[in-house]
Structure 1
Amino acid sequence: MAHSNSKRSSSSSSNHSDRSTANVRASAYVVNASSAALQGFHYSTTGAGGAECPPLAAKASSNAVGRARRGGAAYTITGECERLFCETLRAVFLGEGNLAQKDSLVMGMHNNMTTDIVNDYGINVRMNTSSATDAPSPEGFGWVQQKGLVSDWIEVWDYVGGIRFRGFVAEKADEKAMVVFFDQNVIGGDLKAGLMALLELCAIDYFACTRLVVCIDRHTQQKPLEVLSKDLGWIGFQLTTLREFAEQGDVISNEWLFMEMDT
């Protein structure tokens, strides 16, 4: 049944959803990093649950075409998520590179091009002003034989706020965290409904994530960055590092500012 709230979503998001109920507020499409299996979950005012994969697969004229389209969607989601990785994230979560060789990535080590901003919580927000910042690699977008801590790649469409989130689920020592990028396409939007959907998704059995980690683009202008970090702080997020994943001290990134919340 069609839903009047579908007018709130973009034409792109409507092509990626199958809102068969009247209260679906967000959809998540999940690619398993090992098998490349694709599945979807819809979040509504009554919670999140399993659903069919995107219509492009369900409406395929044959099983072969359906598999091909599912594979294409899985490849696209994986590639777009991995494209947002900086060198630090690649080293920590994909096992690519050596953190010991990156002296700007561990707090407390020598870095002459670093300034500190103290936010409203009395915590130093480290801002690197060097032009030699991390850069995503143009290669490595494949999902076959995925390495590292990533168990799933995720793409979430928030129909209320009109925002698309990309991220991944990291698993280590039987503990899972959902990591979501707040890039320039996210910052400045109405995040309330999207954050609610992300927290609900963390709680469902498939994900069972104990933490939600957001990666905020450090290239955001200072005032919007301060406002966003303050707003996130009000609902329970705290500044964090990648210590729990890297086991090499308080690892940070030149590209992303990390905040987390227990779910």
Structure 2
Amino acid sequence: MAHSNSKRSSSSSSSNGSVRSAANVRASAYVVNASTAHLQGFHYSTTGAGGAECPPLAAKQSSSNQVGRARRGGAAYTITGECERLFCETLRAVFLGEGNSAQKDSLVMGMHNDSTTTIVNDFGIDVRQTSTRLMDSPSPEAFGQVHQKDLVSDWIEVWDYVGGIRFRGFVAEKDAEKAMVIFFDQNVIGGDLKAGLMALLELCAVDYFNCSRLVVCIDRHTPQKSLEVLSKDLGWIGFQLTTLREFSNDGDVISNKWLFMEMDT
């Protein structure tokens, strides 16, 4: 996706490295590295945005480093658990490498399936990075990293303050290609998605992620009419139906729980 000069110019006022005020924050993303359990915050701001408060997760740094680490550890654990909770057996098999459990839940098309620093980048997103190893928090194994062949590199929770929506998902990486995968569960469907989708596309372009695709997983239990409207609206802006072929060795894997649509970024 081409990035317009207006995006770069909108961030020029922050080139001195100062953090934008909370009144300009339109969305915040909290990211847990699947290997290290390090937590980072990405805050998407644009000129003239309405005021919004960041969740408690982005509160002021505690005067006690131990308390701060414990807070980050708890947040990392919660984000990871809530994201992984949305996985169906198909997603677990494809992205977490959990055996052949996808057979229970999927269909295969066309085949038989037996320290803290702040950086401001060119896209107007303030990036806060925590380099301290999380202490007194569950080990990475407790977060669901089952095998080295896992494709999940990061777990994501995104707060869209404009639409009032919280997104959850993950970044998958295979053969140097990265995709951001976001769940459109019942808490997302029916809301105003325009601002949230813009923030997600901007997030894909951040150097830390550098995702070439945005994949949305739409709950198949959505009422048919609402599902048709949503898929049509997504189609108008460039999304198209897809499968998990790019991540799986078993062909065009789809899920009975999620409908997949993707867009190149």
Return the TM-score normalized by structure 2.
0.74
Letter in 1 for 2:241: L
TM-fit CA distance, 1:247: 2.2
Q: Is the 2:79–2:155 contact (alpha carbons within 8 Å) kept by the matching residues of 1?
A: yes
Shift of 1:37: 0.1
Residue 25 (structure 2) aligns with: 24
Equivalents in 2 of 1:141, 1:222: separation in Å? Answer: 39
1:259: which partner in 2? 261
Cα gap change, 1:220 to 1:200, in 2 (>3 Å): same
Q: What SS class does the counterpart of residue 106 from structure 1 fall into?
A: strand
Judging changes above 3 Å, is the alpha-carbon distance between structure 1 residues 103 and 194 closer, same or farther for their aligned structure 2 residues? closer
Partner of 1:114: none
Residue of structure 1 equivalent to 2:119:
none
1:60 aligns with 2:34: no
Q: How does 1:139-218 map to 2 (within 5 A)?
A: 142-143=142-143, 145=145, 147=147, 148-218=150-220
Percent same amino acid among aligned pairs?
84
User: Which residue in the other structure is 2:75 paired with?
Assistant: 73
Q: Cα distance, 1:105 vs. partner?
A: 2.1
Q: Which residue number in structure 2 is paired with residue 42 of structure 1?
A: 43
Is the CA contact 2:159–2:165 (under 8 Å) kept in the aligned structure 1? yes
Change (3 A) 1:165 1:84: same
Structure 1: runs of 5+ lacking an equivalent: 1-17, 112-139
Cα deviation 1:151-170 (Å, max 9, x = unaligned): 00000000000000000000
Find the aligned partners of 1:233 and 1:153 in 2 and give their Cα distance: 26
Counterpart amino acid of residue 230 in structure 1: K
Q: How does 1:94-173 map to 2 (within 5 A)?
A: 94-98=96-100, 101-102=103-104, 104-108=106-110, 142-143=142-143, 145=145, 147=147, 148-173=150-175
- Paired with 1:72 and 1:211, the residues of 2 have a C-alpha distance of 30
Q: Which residue of 1 aligns with 2:137?
A: none
TM-score by length of 1: 0.75
SS at match of 1:244: coil
Q: 1:169 to 1:224 in 2, by over 3 A?
A: same
Distance in 1 of aligned mates of 2:252 and 2:92:
16
8 Å contact 1:106–1:251 — kept in the other structure?
A: yes
Other structure's SS at 2:23 match: coil
Q: Distance in 2 between matches of 1:176 and 1:256?
A: 20
Cα–Cα, structure 1 residues 44 and 103, in superposed 2: closer, same or farther, change >3 Å?
closer
Deviations 1:16-68 (A, max 9, x none): xx97243210000000000000010011126xxxx9x9334x43231111111
SS at 1:54 equivalent: helix
For structure 2, the residue ranges without an aligned partner over 5 or more in a row are 1-18, 48-53, 114-139
4+ residue segments displaced more than 3 Å: 53-56, 99-104, 108-111, 144-147
Offset of 1:97 from its aligned partner? 2.5
